[in-house]
Structure 1
Amino acid sequence: MASWIIQMTVVVLSVFINSSQGKRDTMLYCSACRAIVDELNYSISQVDPKKTINIGSFRLNPDGTIKDKKVPFARSETHLSELLDGVCGSMSDYALHVDPDTQQKQYRRFAPRGNGDTGDFPDFKNFQFDGPEASNVLKFACETIVEELEDDIISLFSKNTKHVVEELCNIVSDYCKGANLTKEEL
């Protein structure tokens, strides 16, 4: 009887461990990664480029001076950390989009931004609005990525890396490995 209980415990634990480490939905996590980059790029672009912040040590040198350095506020670690804290809240502005030609699915922004943005948005008929559950799934994926890759995200944005989507979503995380990126998405 005791060996049967041990065997059942092992089976239950192995099922639990395998299900908790289940494979991530590649399309979902790739879309969330791309959305994070898009939202951060937009937020950074809204900051006055002349605005700076002092970084460095605020200790006095022997000669009575303070060694500090001014960096652009938009790409400072302080600002990027603040942006990361709220970036996943914008995932409700995204919905599942099905490309009419390729039938490829990905989450894309459907909502204009609050500043009178009339950007180039895809036709709404290609979006699937499945209620709050769909945006909650995307928000959870976003929160997972931010939690796992926060240091990498801050590093890439503070260095003003050219192709952040490719770097973060393909190389650092493998979320979009093998996905077809167009020139606009890079």
Structure 2
Amino acid sequence: MRFVRTAVPVILMVSLCLDSCGARRSADLFCGACRALVDELDWEISRVDPTKVIETGSYFLDEDGNPVATTIPYARSELFLIELLEGVCGHMKEYGEYTDPDTHRHSYVRVLTRDGVRTDPPHTQFTEDITSRLKQACEKLAEEYEEEFLEFFSHESSNVKDRLCSKRTDLCDHPLHTHHDEL
């Protein structure tokens, strides 16, 4: 009977730890998906010819009664950004899961360079299961936070990863310590 009394608290503590570890892993997944999504959007936007513009209509009229049209960079247009959000999560198949050896926190790093060369960063796993989970998390975020992504990327701004993934959406509970730029 004494064994049962001491075993129950130990089992409860182990169970709570496993739940907490699973929650931490899920939080790391969504934080990593957000940061990778921002990296991919930045990359795709940077590839568009900066002189390419799109004309947007307006409800304002000039002195002759004609609608006033304005031009904006195509790469920052809602049309282009929505198209990007619909397909950018496919790039998650190029990311691996890095496990910090000290904290055991997970982040996601590009394992395939933009020209298809595979790198093998230390402490990084690159499996179909990992890339599939990351892609699903990315798609969920792109859908759930579409307005926020459009708002941030319709204008050039700095430090989008922290501003969007940490402050606006609260997906990342810690400031950006790892650098996920192009390999």
TM-score between both structures, scaled by the size of structure 1: 0.74
1:50 counterpart residue number: 51
> What does residue range 123-162 of structure 1 map to in structure 2 within 5 Å?
123-130=120-127, 132-162=128-158
- CA apart distance, 1:159: 2.0
Matched-pair contact (CA < 8 Å) for 2:97–2:106: yes
- CA apart distance, 1:182: 3.2
Counterparts in 2 of 1:182 and 1:134: CA distance versus 1, 3 Å: closer
Matched-pair contact (CA < 8 Å) for 1:165–1:185: no
Residue 164 of structure 1, aligned match among 146, 149, 160? 160
Q: Which runs of 4+ in 1 moved over 3 A?
A: 57-62, 99-104, 121-125, 182-186
2:88 counterpart residue number: 87
| Separation of aligned partners in 2, 1:40 and 1:156 | 11
- CA apart distance, 1:52: 0.5
Residue 181 of structure 1, aligned match among 170, 176, 182? 176
| Separation of aligned partners in 2, 1:183 and 1:104 | 12
- CA apart distance, 1:105: 2.1
Q: Any unmatched runs of 5+ in structure 1?
A: 1-21
2:16 counterpart residue number: none
The alignment partner of 2:172 has SS state of coil
| Separation of aligned partners in 2, 1:152 and 1:161 | 13
2:176 partner letter: L
- CA apart distance, 1:59: 9.1
Counterparts in 2 of 1:184 and 1:108: CA distance versus 1, 3 Å: closer
Fraction of identical pairs, as percent: 42
The alignment partner of 2:139 has SS state of helix
- CA apart distance, 1:56: 1.9
Counterparts in 2 of 1:128 and 1:23: CA distance versus 1, 3 Å: closer
| Separation of aligned partners in 1, 2:121 and 2:173 | 27
| Separation of aligned partners in 2, 1:182 and 1:27 | 13
1:45 partner letter: S
| Separation of aligned partners in 2, 1:155 and 1:33 | 15
> What does residue range 14-163 of structure 1 map to in structure 2 within 5 Å?
25-57=26-58, 63=64, 65-100=66-101, 103-114=104-115, 123-130=120-127, 132-163=128-159
| Separation of aligned partners in 1, 2:69 and 2:23 | 46
Q: What CA deviation, in whole Å up to 9, does each residue of 1:1-35 have, x standing for no partner?
A: xxxxxxxxxxxxxxxxxxxxx95811100000000
